[in-house]
Structure 1
């Protein structure tokens, strides 16, 4: 395609990597009290949901209380 006719000196490319601006960026805005409260409420909701899923899910994963075993033991008693 189109090629540059003049060569770019290597020193110019190396200086471009080290360039520092003399303009400082503005400081980040501090979140308001309502934003902090909302973020913490969302975090607590997520943590409570995970804890609740563990609380209700672990008994279902317990191999000692499998529904198939309970039915077999009831059937063997009636014989």
Structure 2
């Protein structure tokens, strides 16, 4: 599967925009793919790559952005 930098940017933006102090629930993040005009498969792949690269952290059912994730979003904006 090929990565899509626009989808990755959209994921990071969604996490930053919709997170509460603990982050954003996995279910809520997954539901946002349709708001960004991408397939569920592309969205899920971007989330997985961002988590594998430590731009996102998944803990207790919530995704939250790391400092590096914020830096990446700034560089992509």
Q: Shorter-chain TM-score category?
A: under 0.3
TM-score, scaled relative to structure 1: 0.23
Larger-Rg structure: 1
The one of the two structures with greater contact order (alpha-carbon pairs below 8 A, sep at least 6) is 2
TM-score, scaled relative to structure 2: 0.24
More strand by share: 2
